[in-house]
Structure 1
Amino acid sequence: MAEMGSKGVTAGKIASNVQKKLTRAQEKVLQKLGKADETKDEQFEQCVQNFNKQLTEGTRLQKDLRTYLASVKAMHEASKKLNECLQEVYEPDWPGRDEANKIAENNDLLWLDYHQKLVDQALLTMDTYLGQFPDIKSRIAKRGRKLVDYDSARHHYESLQTAKKKDEVKIAKPVSLLEKAAPQWCQGKLQAHLVAQTNLLRNQAEEELVKAQKVFEEMNVDLQEELPSLWNSRVGFYVNTFQSIAGLEENFHKEMSKLNQNLNDVLVSLEKQHGSNTFTVKAQPSDNAPAKGNSPSPPPHGSPAATPEIRVNHEPEPPAAGAALPKSPSQSTESPAGSLPSGEPSAAEGTFAVAWPNQMAELGPAQPTEASEAAGGTQPAAGAQEPVETAAGEAASSSLPAVVVETFSATVNGTVEASGRAGRLDLPPGFMFKVQAQHDYTATDTDELQLKAGDVVLVIPFQNPEEQDEGWLMGVKESDWNQHMELEKCRGVFPENFTERVQ
């Protein structure tokens, strides 16, 4: 019996909920069609808009904060691996090993502490702040449903009040029909019963209206107080959150700066003890070199990174068998390439760069055959004039390291070959190689070249290498260059994958 009773209660509750949903759906349709008025509160609607905006901002802030914490954790892992690498390569007999290990441990603890404080003082506070939004959001939705119930009850009651006279007419008609069939004494009772039934329906509608209004107003008053207060609390929350993050980050960087200074001191002491084995940083290739695997253009004269030989077509060629670069007779031994301290060019190096044009003018054109003989080790007879390249090598080798002397000699040997290329008037300054367009390309900007399939382009370096984007080259169409000979008006950038190198 109890089970049957519970089933009956459940079935009745389900039926009641279904009836409420149907009533609300009917009321919304009537309101949209304009056949029923809707209760509106502009002030509350503004509060709801502020609530939705605040929820969106808070959700975004929470997401970005989690991303920041993930980045901090990743930096911690990277820093930890870097310190582990330092500990592995730091040999036991080197001074400061214990200090370096201690610094690495403190570095790891500092990262852990920073991450944990960010979680406690920022992320958990953010989670608490956003935790109140779901409940208020559900209450706003419930308030909307209760408003529809209130409007439905109000419209039902108003319809009963309006139809009061019509109901009296409807009641009179059945009585007139029953007069012939019912006895006289029953007619009054039937009429009284119908009037009582109508009054009962009206009373029930009024009770439902009062009940719906009470529930709606209670929820509405609470939300009218909470929503503005929640909206105003966002300022203090943002201030506290970002103050905490800024303060934690400031302290973290202060402590990390101290650890880095201590590590630097340890490494300085190691450098002082092993100063004779200082690592020499070699110069990088010229900034004008193309970024996509092309042979770099020759560096400025006097650069330690100058290539031993200059190639006309920028293609490497194997050195001749048994050939050797000319060396100064006065230099008995070769200095290692790294013997010149980094960042301290010698006086001879500077003289070499300045005196180069004058020396070339005085010495005249180089003789490749004589240079080849000198390179092969053949010495001239007594009293005979030495080759021009060897004389130039002597002028530079007296005070320059071997790498600079060799570069100087190689540059002299390749002067005839390179000058014929760089000095040609039919090629633009800085010309590197030629490419041919394989497809049409329509320029989308004023600094781009308009290409058609078959066009030949002379590739030149960018004036500012930092402006070069990956996959783009600077050049001038061969037809435009032969016609105008004006680099500023003809040059432009073009996509490399639209062309194919031909020279």
Structure 2
Amino acid sequence: MAEMGSKGVTAGKIASNVQKKLTRAQEKVLQKLGKADETKDEQFEQCVQNFNKQLTEGTRLQKDLRTYLASVKAMHEASKKLNECLQEVYEPDWPGRDEANKIAENNDLLWVDYHQKLVDQALLTMDTYLGQFPDIKSRIAKRGRKLVDFDSARHHYESLQTAKKKDEAKIAKPVSLLEKAAPQWCQGKLQAHLVAQTNLLRNQAEEELIKAQKVFEEMNVDLQEELPSLWNSRVGFYVNTFQSIAGLEENFHKEMSKLNQNLSDVLVSLEKQHGSNTFTIKAQPRPPRPARPHRKKTKLFSRLRRKKNSDNAPAKGNKSPSPPDGSPAATPEIRVNHEPEPAGAATPGAALPKSPSQPAEASEVACGTHPAAGAQEPGETAASEAASSSLPAVVVETFSATVNGTVEGGSGAGRLDLPPGFMFKVQAQHDYTATDTDELQLKAGDVVLVIPFQNPEEQDEGWLMGVKESDWILHKELEKCRGVFPENFTARVQ
């Protein structure tokens, strides 16, 4: 019988819980659909938001603190192994061996003490602080359920109050056949029964409303007092936690500094006894950066040269001078006859060796001109010179001449768009920062088209004149783009 009774109680409790869940679910649906109003407390909702934020911050702090402790333990193990290595390599006949072993033991004890104090004064306090959050979180959830029960009871009572007048109208005017067939005295009893039943339902609803309201208000009042207090306590907790960590770390480093100083003194004494066996640490050599060659010219000379160049520059729109009759400037072709010569004879047409001190000659050969005064007219050839000279006849061969930055050959082959007087290409191997307005700013990898100086006397040793290939392709304005640069920052590529 007792077992049957306990099973009945359990079944009744389960049925009651199921009924409560159904009632709450129905009430939430009605509230979401807008068919039932919901009791709201903005102040409490703000407290709940602060609680959730505080819980998130505390959980993160606990996680980071555990990570810090794991790092301290790992550092302890690494320091312990390092000291064990020192004890192994420290030979017995060396002075200070016992002191070094004692320092290693104190070092190990210091790490252990530091880790344990962090656990006691920081981690355990952190766990105690976070231990109160689960209970408060469950109470907040329960308070939410009781609020739904209160709203449901309130709505049920209000619906009975609304239906009260309808029930009284029914009782005053019998409509059922039983009521019509009953005698007069019986109708009065039926009316009284209906009134009593309606009053009983209303009273029960009122009692449930009062009970639900009481339970809800008790939990609400407790949480309204506890949540703000918990929120304000976070400041003191954070201060105490980080003060403890900072103080423990400061003391630890002070004691560790003393041990390290003692170990350094022991090693200094060992070095004094074996001073002849000192090991010197040499720095890793670095590749030398080329020195920038010294420029003799001054800024005043540079300004005078730029002014002279601007005076001699062609008019805007004419990138190269042309004859007065408008025909394009032509460069004579030099034909040289290759014939056998006696052994040891000099070859007048042989190419001159290139050197930095002869930029003017190189440019004149590239352009097909001769620097000597009284040079031949374009129609004349080198063959006539060979005829009037006592030198042996030279070989006849044709090479292309540069006209207005374009290389033209006898066969009319491909044209290369290059600046006038182009000599060769170089590529920057290092960055170069210009220090004057007439210098080129170079980055490693830039390709420069080398051209001759307009006045060979302006060329300094180790410096070249040129224009960056990218600027020439983009602008085609030699006067604005050209400049000087140090030769040893570049390497010849063509």
Q: Output the TM-score relative to the length of structure 2.
A: 0.59
**Residues 152 and 426 of structure 1: CA distance in aligned 2, closer, same or farther (over 3 Å):** same
Q: What is the deviation of 1:27?
A: 1.1
Which residue does the alignment assign to 2:144? 144
CA contact (8 A) 1:310 1:418 kept: no
Query: What CA RMSD, in Å, does the superposition of the two structures yield over aligned residues?
Result: 17.8
Q: Comparing both structures, which one devotes a greater share of its residues to helix?
A: 1
Q: What is the deviation of 1:147?
A: 0.8
CA contact (8 A) 1:103 1:262 kept: yes
**Residues 402 and 73 of structure 1: CA distance in aligned 2, closer, same or farther (over 3 Å):** farther
Q: Which moved more, 1:321-330 or 1:248-257?
A: 321-330
Work out the CA distance in 2 between the residues paired with 1:240 and 1:403. Answer: 101
Q: What is the deviation of 1:46?
A: 1.2
2:279 alignment partner, SS class: coil
Q: Which moved more, 1:18-27 or 1:186-195?
A: 186-195
**Residues 501 and 83 of structure 1: CA distance in aligned 2, closer, same or farther (over 3 Å):** farther
Q: What is the deviation of 1:40?
A: 1.3
Q: What is the deviation of 1:7?
A: 1.1
Q: What is the deviation of 1:185?
A: 3.2
Work out the CA distance in 2 between the residues paired with 1:102 and 1:296. Answer: 88
Q: Which moved more, 1:41-50 or 1:239-248?
A: 41-50
**Residues 205 and 376 of structure 1: CA distance in aligned 2, closer, same or farther (over 3 Å):** closer
Work out the CA distance in 2 between the residues paired with 1:474 and 1:280. Answer: 47
Query: Of the two, which has the highest radius of gyration?
Result: 2
CA contact (8 A) 2:367 2:402 kept: no
CA contact (8 A) 1:436 1:454 kept: yes
Q: What is the deviation of 1:170?
A: 3.5
Work out the CA distance in 2 between the residues paired with 1:199 and 1:43. Answer: 38
Q: Is 1:490 aligned to residue 459 of structure 2?
A: no
Q: What is the deviation of 1:228?
A: 1.0
CA contact (8 A) 1:24 1:148 kept: yes
Q: 5+ residue gaps in structure 1?
A: 332-367
Q: What is the deviation of 1:478?
A: 9.2
1:179 alignment partner, SS class: helix
Work out the CA distance in 2 between the residues paired with 1:316 and 1:143. Answer: 117
Work out the CA distance in 2 between the residues paired with 1:229 and 1:44. Answer: 13
**Residues 322 and 423 of structure 1: CA distance in aligned 2, closer, same or farther (over 3 Å):** closer
Work out the CA distance in 2 between the residues paired with 1:419 and 1:268. Answer: 83
Q: What is the deviation of 1:184?
A: 3.6
1:325 alignment partner, SS class: coil
CA contact (8 A) 1:310 1:414 kept: no
Q: Is 1:45 aligned to residue 45 of structure 2?
A: yes
**Residues 307 and 484 of structure 1: CA distance in aligned 2, closer, same or farther (over 3 Å):** closer
**Residues 410 and 239 of structure 1: CA distance in aligned 2, closer, same or farther (over 3 Å):** farther
Q: What is the deviation of 1:426?
A: 18
2:449 alignment partner, SS class: strand
Q: 5+ residue gaps in structure 2?
A: 285-309
2:410 alignment partner, SS class: helix
1:406 alignment partner, SS class: coil
Which residue does the alignment assign to 2:467? 476
**Residues 37 and 407 of structure 1: CA distance in aligned 2, closer, same or farther (over 3 Å):** farther
Q: What is the deviation of 1:124?
A: 0.1
Q: Which moved more, 1:177-186 or 1:75-84?
A: 177-186
**Residues 222 and 167 of structure 1: CA distance in aligned 2, closer, same or farther (over 3 Å):** same
CA contact (8 A) 1:437 1:455 kept: yes
Work out the CA distance in 2 between the residues paired with 1:178 and 1:230. Answer: 66
For residues 439-491 of structure 1, give each alpha carbon's deviation from its aligned partner in whole angstroms, at most 9, with x where no partner exists.
99999999999999999999999999999999999999998899999999999
Work out the CA distance in 2 between the residues paired with 1:401 and 1:270. Answer: 86
Q: What is the deviation of 1:389?
A: 52
Q: What is the deviation of 1:116?
A: 0.2
Work out the CA distance in 2 between the residues paired with 1:210 and 1:495. Answer: 98
**Residues 498 and 416 of structure 1: CA distance in aligned 2, closer, same or farther (over 3 Å):** closer
For residues 273-304 of structure 1, give each alpha carbon's deviation from its aligned partner in whole angstroms, at most 9, with x where no partner exists.
111111122331x9999999999999999999
For residues 333-384 of structure 1, give each alpha carbon's deviation from its aligned partner in whole angstroms, at most 9, with x where no partner exists.
xxxxxxxxxxxxxxxxxxxxxxxxxxxxxxxxxxx99999999999999999
For residues 383-412 of structure 1, give each alpha carbon's deviation from its aligned partner in whole angstroms, at most 9, with x where no partner exists.
999999999999999999999999999999
Which residue does the alignment assign to 1:355? none
CA contact (8 A) 1:100 1:263 kept: yes
CA contact (8 A) 1:327 1:393 kept: no
2:407 alignment partner, SS class: helix
Q: Percent of aligned pairs with the same residue? A: 94
1:206 alignment partner, SS class: helix
For residues 144-195 of structure 1, give each alpha carbon's deviation from its aligned partner in whole angstroms, at most 9, with x where no partner exists.
1111111111111111111111112344565553244334432222221111
Work out the CA distance in 2 between the residues paired with 1:75 and 1:134. Answer: 34
CA contact (8 A) 1:434 1:457 kept: yes
Work out the CA distance in 2 between the residues paired with 1:298 and 1:262. Answer: 87
Work out the CA distance in 1 between the residues paired with 2:145 and 2:184. Answer: 51
2:397 alignment partner, SS class: helix
2:464 alignment partner, SS class: strand
Work out the CA distance in 2 between the residues paired with 1:124 and 1:57. Answer: 17
For residues 73-95 of structure 1, give each alpha carbon's deviation from its aligned partner in whole angstroms, at most 9, with x where no partner exists.
11101111111111111111111
Work out the CA distance in 2 between the residues paired with 1:298 and 1:94. Answer: 91
CA contact (8 A) 1:157 1:202 kept: yes
Q: Output the TM-score relative to the length of structure 1.
A: 0.58
Q: Which moved more, 1:296-305 or 1:488-497?
A: 296-305
CA contact (8 A) 2:428 2:443 kept: yes
Work out the CA distance in 2 between the residues paired with 1:175 and 1:292. Answer: 115
CA contact (8 A) 2:360 2:453 kept: no
2:65 alignment partner, SS class: helix
2:205 alignment partner, SS class: helix
